[in-house]
Structure 1
Amino acid sequence: MEADDNIPATFASPACFMHEVDPRYTGLPGPLDRQAWTDVDRWRRSERERLIAARLAVPAEMRARQSEAIAAGIVAEIGDVRGRIVSAYWPFRGEPDLRPLLAEIAKRGGRTALPVVVEKGRPLEFHLWQAGDPLSRGVWNIPIPAERNRVLPDIVLSPVVGYDAACYRLGYGGGFFDRTLAAMPARPRVIGLGYSAARLQTIYPQLHDIPMDLIVTETGTVRPAPQAEVSTVRALT
């Protein structure tokens, strides 16, 4: 995991600069109030940078232990995986490393997949992959399955940069994840995962933000709290 963190130009990166413009340019619903979106977007960029820097400052050995605890929490949540497809991701910039979990899911009779960026402005695709299968470089040098076998996962594990009590996810800002969920014919179970230190009071969700079903951290599971809902058009004050 440490080796991955030390090669920032090799693996996944913020997918594009679409997060610096109106979400409508990425094919997502636009904000009801442009000034509110400008304020929220500026705040999100600042928080994103802060949270990524904070997790990279954590020793790799500690992140590895946290990743193991997060993986154990995910196993407890998803239960029997036989006959089901679980999609995860390739770890980047201090994200929890779930590659051992993917191998365990395969041993338990499940199938595993990785997300594939097709191009800017389009939903992600999911392609089957398990440990030992060849990888190739996709868009922005993200490792993707070398053999394309597109599937619709039953469970999607998504890393979060930050999250709130309503299980809204702060990501890298490209809009790919929300766009993907909105386009899927049937919504999978969506589990966000990250470190407990990344919890925020709110991410100020907008119309294009889609909450996770739950968030798993190294200290436990966060389930949506109805009282944590906030206005989708609230501007920062």
Structure 2
Amino acid sequence: MSHDEKPADGYASPPCLAHEIDPAYFDPLGVTPQQAQDVARWRKAERVRLLAERAALSVDTRKAAAIAIAEHLDSLLAQRSIDINGLTISAWWPIKAEIDLRFWLAGLAARGARAALPLVETKAAPLIFREWTPDTRMERGIWNIPVPAEGPDILPDITLSPVVGWDRNGYRLGYGGGYFDRTLAAITPRPLAIGVGLNIAQIATIFPQPHDIAMQTIVTETGPRDPKQD
């Protein structure tokens, strides 16, 4: 994640006014360097706000949300007639009060699917994925996040990605490193990309940039939200 540096006499450019932009007039393909810088600053502030809101929720609230999300994921896959037998589904090891779906991942093997976790092998490069079960030997990876210690690289058919924030067009606000977008752009064929987060994390827009890749569906504790169907 990049950090803006503040000169001794203040910012060299005007403060971000992204929150005042009407999303209907924002063209992500016509972003200027100044706009990109303003959006990066706005995202940084919005990320801090959303993470604080999520961290303030009780453990029981987050646990209830995880159970509801797991049920909605099963319903979504059934509605789309997706048989997960033989498929690889990736998710994440929860940090920073993220929704914990490890119980759902652990049950995939009994349904004929395999779970995978992402890890950073090379900084500023696409993620790689390794199979995970509750018995997998773990080690500390980048940012001290537990990752599978060994095993071959595998490609997911379905990717579940945690969202810090999300908008009605399916774009996700992550932690700012760009790893997930970079990974989706590199995988062929592209997996079914599902963003997972809390309903309170919805924002009007993330002001998508050319590198941002929209999720095909966002799933929260209130159910799936397909892009542009609100």
TM over 0.5: yes
* Displacement after TM superposition at 1:31 (Å): 7.3
- Root-mean-square deviation (Å): 1.9
Distance 1:75 1:19 in 2: 38
The residue that corresponds to 2:67 in the other structure is 68
Amino acid corresponding to residue 18 of structure 1 in structure 2: S
Find the counterpart in structure 2 of residue 148 from structure 1: 151
Match of 1:34 in 2: 33
Instruction: Indicate the residue corresponding to 1:86 in structure 2.
Output: 89
Q: Give the CA deviation at 1:148.
A: 2.3
Indicate the residue corresponding to 2:222 in structure 1.
219
- What per-residue deviation string (whole Å, max 9, x for no partner) do you get for residues 122-168 of structure 1? 11001111111111111221111112221111000000000000010
The 5 A counterparts of 1:125-164 are 125-164=128-167
One-letter code of the match for 2:104? L
Alignment partner of 1:110 out of 113, 136, 139: 113
Give the match for residue 199 of structure 1.
Answer: 202
Residue aligned with 1:97, SS: coil
**Secondary structure at 1:190's aligned position in 2?**
strand
Deviant stretches of 4+, over 4 Å: none
Q: 1:36 to 1:150 in 2, by over 3 A?
A: same
| CA apart distance, 1:19 | 6.5
Moved more, 161-170 or 70-79: 70-79
* Number of residues of Structure 1 aligned to a counterpart in Structure 2: 204
CA contact (8 A) 1:19 1:41 kept: no
Give the gaps of 5 or more residues in structure 1. Answer: 1-16, 22-29, 229-237
**Larger Rg computed on CA atoms:** 2
Task: Considering Cα pairs closer than 8 Å and 6+ residues apart, tell me whether 1 or 2 has the greater RCO.
Answer: 1
Q: Please give the TM-score of this superposition, normalised by the length of structure 2.
A: 0.84
Tell me the TM-score normalized by structure 1.
Answer: 0.82
